[in-house]
Amino acid sequence: QKEVEQNSGPLSVPEGAIASLNCTYSDRGSQSFFWYRQYSGKSPELIMFIYSNGDKEDGRFTAQLNKASQYVSLLIRDSQPSDSATYLCAVLGYTGGFKTIFGAGTRLFVKA
């Protein structure tokens, strides 16, 4: 059973701080990694994807991937109250076809 694990939170950070969201996965053959943001009552929206070990930066967001440790993280710099949402980690692997597994998500609350 392939799994993607996330701390459910809530993770609470003050406005302007760095929020760090973590995700571990069990399938060592996983190929691609995604972070989605989901506001309450809304559908997930893609914010970052990463394929290779290391860091990938996009504005205030940085995704970090360590395949050896089977670990992917999302850093949000200068957190804003509008960043308050659930962040879903998704992992793409290949088992008889390309399959994406989502974690349960981490709730982030940014205090003004």
Partner 1 sequence: EAGVAQSPRYKIIEKRQSVAFWCNPISGHATLYWYQQILGQGPKLLIQFQNNGVVDDSQLPKDRFSAERLKGVDSTLKIQPAKLEDSAVYLCASSLIQGTRGNEQFFGPGTRLTVL
Asked if 18 touches partner 1 (CB under 8 A), the answer is: no
| Cα 45 from chain centre | 12
Whether omega for the bond prior to residue 44 falls within 30 degrees of 0, making it cis, is no
Member of 51, 53, 58, 59 binding partner 1 (CB under 8 A): 51
Q: What are phi and psi of 107, to 5 degrees?
A: -80, 130
Which residue lies nearer to partner 1 by CB, 45 or 78?
45
Member of 15, 18, 77, 98 binding partner 1 (CB under 8 A): 98
Asked if 103 touches partner 1 (CB under 8 A), the answer is: yes
Member of 27, 37, 44, 108 binding partner 1 (CB under 8 A): 44
Length of the chain: 112
Cβ contact 6:20 at 8 Å = no
Cβ contact 49:36 at 8 Å = no
Report the interface residues with partner 1, using CB under 8 A.
4, 8, 31-32, 34, 42-46, 49, 51, 88, 90, 92, 94, 96-105
